[in-house]
Amino acid sequence: MAAPAAGTHVFLEVRRRLQSALLILGEPKEGGMRMDISLAPSSLQVKTPEGCTELRFPAEVRLVPSSCRGLQYVPGDGLHLRLQVWAEPDNTKLISMFNQSSQAQGCCTFYCQSCGEVVIRNRKLLRVLPLPSENWGALVEEWCCHPDPFANKPLHPQEHDCFIGDSFFLVNLRSDLWQPRPELAPVETQCPSSENHFKLILNTQWLSSKRQKLVPFGKKPKANTKVICKRCKVMLGETMSSETTKFFITEIIIQPSERNFSIVPRSQFVQNVIAQCLVELSSARSTFRFTIQGHDGKVYILLWLLNSDSLVIESLGSSKSIKKFPLLEDILKADSSSAWNAVKVLYQPCIKNRNEKLSSAWESDISIHSLTLPSATCLELLLILSRNNAMLPPSLRSVNSFQVAFLKM
């Protein structure tokens, strides 16, 4: 797809289920410039005194030009119009990074997503099983007419198991390979076996009374033990016991051992993992509101999933004025056009004591699901949401008191 004339921002959101689309043609930088627009089922053509550019749509999307309606000019945005489209449903199934069938067929290698460091090498996973929801203990008490048979029985994986939670997974590190120490000072632990070619630095920090939180699997509040990548020092997870380690899904990539590792841009990976997680949880549990909290117990973001059937086609035109951040450089290519599936979310930041009342109300609402990630990743996600919000046409950036963003899949 070719980029439109310099200064023209083209934005098209296609709703597959509704078979409709919103097209926004941004204002040229030079006011009063003549612009001729031609719509065809498979393309959009924009003519200005500076030149002519054609924007082609993906093969699965066809516009119905005769259905154009609601044409209006919105100051600051440009021209808005709605159309009917013929869009094929997205039949691509979400393939979890912990796909049970594929991961259980052979040996897998666990990598740090940020730098590619090998965390666990050639691990044979014979069972990859989903964990129940974090409040499963309370549900058992409601259903059982006798004492809870699962009380004080944490769910820990065996040596060749992988248990999958909402935002993490648990693996077993055998006692002969794992040498935990009770010291509070940082401790470096080496694994002598060739199976695990990694070093984990254990930083044990006691949570303050204000941040103490009940740990899943029936554990009492205790020290928070971080597992950190030896190369880039990113937090990968936490130790749950002497043999069990929790890894966060945003920090680890699992691949078959025979496959070469390839770096995925950080922002692309975070967006995809979070979007996939939201879609899976909303489908399985009929919940559409989420709190994103750090491992320190603080809530960083309130998320509200609006829809997961959007196809966004966008051209930024000239983006010389856009400041680039290292985390986001993969989504800020100058004079670029792109088409991508996305989930549409509303969000509210909760850092620096913002939205405290709303955050407290959401935390006490049992219909709202909580996702726990490393605190640094929560800030990365907030930066991605803010950047994606800023790239939308001004009229689409907010709904009531919430901000709007798309997360690419």
Instruction: Write out the DSSP string of 15-80.
Output: ETTTTEEEEEEEPPSSTT---EEEEETTEEEEEETTEEEEEEPPTTEEEEEEEEEEEEEETTTEEE
Lowest mean pLDDT among 104-113, 146-155, 322-331: 322-331
If we measure between CA atoms, which residue out of 256, 313, 249 comes closest to residue 281? Answer: 249
Q: Considering the entire predicted model, what is its pTM?
A: 0.81
CA 391 to chain centre: 18
Angle (CA) 193 197 203, round 5°: 105
Q: Which pLDDT score, from 0 to 100, does residue 1 have? A: 44
Contact 128, 108 (CB under 8 A): no
Q: Which pLDDT score, from 0 to 100, does residue 185 have? A: 29
Contact 224, 158 (CB under 8 A): no
Q: Which pLDDT score, from 0 to 100, does residue 26 have? A: 81
Give the total residue count for the chain: 409
Letter for the amino acid at 72?
Answer: Q
Asked if the model's pLDDT at residue 80 lies above 50, the reply is yes
> How many angstroms separate the CA atoms of 171 and 156, rounded?
8
The string of DSSP letters for 209-220 reads: TTT--PBTTTBP
Q: Which residues pair with 80 in a beta bridge?
A: 24, 72
If we measure between CA atoms, which residue out of 177, 190, 149 comes closest to residue 244? Answer: 177
pLDDT band for position 265 (50/70/90)?
Answer: very high
Q: Span 146-167, mean pLDDT?
A: 82
Asked if the model's pLDDT at residue 256 lies above 80, the reply is yes
What are the angstrom distances between the C-alpha of 394 and each of 138, 283, 397, 399? 45, 31, 5, 11
247's enclosing H/E stretch is: strand 244-248
Q: Which pLDDT score, from 0 to 100, does residue 154 have? A: 74
**Token pair listed for 158:** 């065996």
Q: Where are the alpha helices (DSSP H) in 245-309?
A: 266-285
Asked if the model's pLDDT at residue 93 lies above 70, the reply is no
More confident residue, 147 or 246: 246
Asked if the model's pLDDT at residue 101 lies above 50, the reply is no
What are the angstrom distances between the C-alpha of 27 and each of 31, 283, 350? 8, 39, 33
Q: Span 185-197, mean pLDDT?
A: 40
Q: Which pLDDT score, from 0 to 100, does residue 380 have? A: 97
More confident residue, 377 or 201: 377
Q: Which residues pair with 63 in a beta bridge?
A: 85
